[in-house]
Structure 1
Amino acid sequence: CPDCRQYYKQYRRFSQRPSGMGQIPAENTVEQEFCRLAEKMRHRRMLIAIGFLSYVCASWCLLVMLWMRMRKRG
């Protein structure tokens, strides 16, 4: 929903800090739930990116193999 997106944007802006700093403990359950949701979203985006890159690489390899086969036939 639009309210959740706005809250998430604000959260990301404030949560981006140097990697050397530890996690800031959440003060209440709403913030804890939001942190869990944000972590799930990051994880899901990473899996989607990995899946997409795997698909692209596999397709590229297949095309190269087909091209080599056609070239070999003459």
Structure 2
Amino acid sequence: MKKNAWNWVTTIVLVFAGATIANAGYVLWQEGNLERGDWGWFLAGQVGMIIVNLRKIWDDARRGRRPPEFPDPQ
């Protein structure tokens, strides 16, 4: 894929990931399984994992390495 297509894919994935995390946190909070103080730690942990994974993806892309699921076109 072209670089622009990768940007769109990454954006869509981030939007869905953010919505999923927010929804999961909200549901846990509504059910009473997530205390008020835990809410911030839950979201901080999720955001931290996303940032670490995105950094690895961008570093690999910058160095020209592709994940095994997307082999180089022949």
Q: Mark the structure with the bigger radius of gyration.
A: 1
Range class of TM-score, shorter chain:
0.3 to 0.5
Q: TM-score, normalised by structure 2?
A: 0.42
Q: TM-score, normalised by structure 1?
A: 0.42
